[in-house]
């Protein structure tokens, strides 16, 4: 397998990949977009930082691509939608630069109170402006943190050590978590009104773009200090410059910008009380070492089908959860595949219900495995656990997942239901049997069975009359098809019966037509799993 390292990461990360027996590592730092398109034709994984753009064109030019890893947090340079549609997992390293970014944020805050950068510039120019650069203290001041994730939490703990009151706005922050951290959870409006310092630690989304603009700045205290080491575009740059020049904002520190690199002639470079750093959030030796090794390990696991961590377009699964789910994944995929083959082509809805022990597990990977199995014969090699939900949606099939608290006849049970265009419902149920956890189908279309969901299966619906088993055996024997096992079920005596037959090989067309045309046989389907 080929792994393309398109942007420079820590040497230790590259060495990790090179030491894996099944990887060929291509180091292509500084490649042009045209060169990248050529290089990705046969790669399984790509690692980037922020320089290389992984566009839809790049993704579609890489038919073997399984994973794209970003050594860092932001993934603005990766087309996640295109990756998802093509079954490519996208990962980042959100934890590797946490401390580095938190410390840089605090550096900007300290610079805002003591004007270190400006004082240093005056000293370099030969001046002694001791009276010009009077400062302020952070002690007993109020810090407003917008976004209390990993980095925001680290900033909060450092601010508390400086004796600051800490306010936090985060739409996902629960009150108990805020109390545990010793911060006051407030609305955005209240944080902006009360804070002496405001620092941003949120992703750039439609809702956060220009969150800090002329209108919101007007609600802040006079002399407020602003810091953004998160993502460019959250603070409107033009409005910020205007606020600094008017004195409304006493100081600002930026490490990120709406467009990077910042233009040489950008007017912000001339603003006295604005300290700029060139996106240094993760630029420490420790952070680069951490994210380089982390992304190398994560991409390596992803391309060989291992545990996914920090995946952005599908749930990441820890090893403990994966161990608990592993026995069900193969069962789920085969149940989905089986149901698709016995249901009509036109299906409006697919419902998945979990019973028993599965209810207590994060079942999303299992759901994706079921959907992948259902779509295997529809989408072929184009479907995997990453893009299965979106492919199902593109087919116009509604998907419902239910975790039931009701009792079932088994410790764990998976129930799949497909609703056809005519409203008829087709069902299959499966579980694991015995200490070894053997997969079994235990219910098909209203009838109890016990059959192994594997290999070639002949599903026959017939009138409950004597001799059907003999008819099937005779036809299959004549075609030299061996029966591995057989399960029989009926709805009532003399009604409709169901025969599920596991075969060593599939019957030829002649044998199959003979079965279908046999007296008392209503329908027959050959299922291949």
Q: Indicate which residues carry an active-site annotation.
A: 231, 260, 279
Indicate the helix (H) or strand (E) that contains 200.
Answer: strand 197-200
What is the rounded CA–CA span in Å between residue 168 and residue 115?
Answer: 25
**Residue 24 three-state SS:** strand
Contacts of residue 394, Cβ cutoff 8 Å, sequence gap at least 6: none
In contact, 104 and 277? CB cutoff 8 Å: yes
Alpha-carbon distance of 150 to 238, in angstroms, equals: 29
Run of H or E residues at 325: helix 319-342
DSSP per-residue letters across 367-433:
HHHHHHHHHHHHHGGG--TTTHHHHHHHTT-EEEEEE--S--SSSEEEEEEEEETTS-EEEEEEEEE
Do 337 and 454 meet the contact criterion of CB atoms below 8 Å apart? no
**Phi, psi at residue 322, to the nearest 5°?**
-65, -40
What's the CA gap between 192 and 143, in Å, rounded? 10
Give, in order, the Cα–Cα distances in Å from 326 to each of 90, 361, 439, 512. 22, 11, 12, 35
Q: Residue 435, Cβ neighbours under 10 Å: how many?
A: 6
- Are 67 and 9 a contacting pair, CB within 8 Å? no
Q: Which of 83, 93, 92 is nearest to 384 (CA)?
A: 83
Name the β-bridge partners of 502: 457, 485
Q: In terms of Cα–Cα distance, which of 204, 196, 270, 194 is closest to 236?
A: 204
Question: Distance (Å, rounded) from C-alpha 425 to C-alpha 409?
Answer: 21
Query: Is there a contact between 388 and 401 (Cβ–Cβ < 8 Å)?
Result: no
């Amino acid at each position: 397998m080929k792994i393309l390292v398109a942007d420079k990461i820590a040497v230790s990360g590259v060495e990790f990949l090179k030491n894996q027996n099944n990887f060929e590592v291509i180091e292509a730092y500084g490649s042009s977009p045209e060169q990248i398109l050529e290089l990705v034709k046969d790669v399984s994984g790509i690692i980037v930082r922020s320089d290389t753009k992984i566009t839809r064109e790049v993704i579609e030019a890489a038919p073997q691509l399984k994973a794209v890893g970003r050594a860092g947090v932001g993934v603005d340079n990766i087309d996640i939608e295109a990756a998802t549609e093509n079954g490519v997992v996208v990962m980042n390293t959100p934890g590797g630069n946490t401390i580095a970014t938190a410390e840089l944020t605090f550096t900007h805050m300290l610079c805002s109170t003591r004007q270190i950068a400006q004082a240093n510039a005056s000293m370099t120019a030969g001046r002694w402006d001791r009276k010009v650069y009077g400062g302020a203290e952070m002690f007993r001041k109020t810090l407003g943190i917008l976004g209390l994730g990993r980095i925001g939490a680290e900033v909060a703990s450092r601010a508390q050590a400086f004796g600051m009151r800490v306010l936090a706005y985060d739409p996902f922050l629960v009150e108990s978590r805020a109390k545990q951290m010793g911060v006051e959870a407030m609305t955005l409006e209240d944080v902006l009104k009360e804070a002496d310092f405001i620092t941003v630690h949120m992703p750039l989304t439609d809702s956060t773009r220009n969150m800090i603009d002329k209108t919101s700045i007007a609600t802040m205290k006079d002399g407020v200090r602003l810091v953004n080491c998160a993502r460019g575009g959250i603070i409107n740059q033009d409005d910020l410059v205007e606020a600094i020049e008017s004195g409304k904002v006493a100081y600002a520190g930026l490490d990120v910008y709406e467009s990077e690199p910042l233009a040489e002639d950008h007017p912000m470079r001339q603003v006295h009380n604005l300290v700029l750093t060139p996106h240094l959030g993760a630029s420490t030796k420790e952070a680069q070492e951490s994210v380089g090794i982390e992304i190398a390990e994560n991409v390596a696991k992803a391309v060989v089908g291992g545990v996914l961590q920090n995946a952005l377009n599908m749930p990441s699964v820890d090893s403990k959860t994966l161990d608990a789910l592993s026995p069900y994944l193969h069962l789920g995929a085969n149940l989905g595949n089986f149901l698709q083959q016995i249901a009509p082509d036109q299906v409006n809805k697919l419902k998945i219900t979990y019973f028993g022990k599965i209810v207590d597990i994060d079942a999303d990977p299992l759901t994706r495995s079921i959907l992948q199995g259902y779509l295997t014969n529809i989408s072929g090699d184009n479907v995997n656990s990453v893009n299965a939900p979106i492919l199902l949606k593109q087919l116009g099939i509604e998907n419902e997942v239910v975790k039931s608290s009701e009792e079932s006849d088994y410790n764990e049970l998976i129930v799949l239901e497909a609703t056809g265009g005519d409203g008829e419902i087709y069902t299959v149920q499966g579980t694991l049997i015995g200490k070894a956890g053997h997969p079994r189908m235990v219910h098909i279309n209203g009838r109890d069975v016990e059959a192994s969901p594997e290999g070639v299966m002949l599903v026959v619906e017939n009138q409950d009359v004597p001799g059907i088993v003999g008819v099937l055996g005779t036809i299959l024997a004549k075609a030299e098809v061996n029966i591995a096992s057989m399960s029989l079920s009926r709805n009532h005596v003399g009604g409709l019966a169901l025969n599920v037959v596991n075969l060593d090989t599939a019957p030829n067309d002649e044998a199959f037509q003979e079965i279908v045309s046999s007296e008392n046989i209503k329908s027959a389907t050959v299922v291949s799993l």
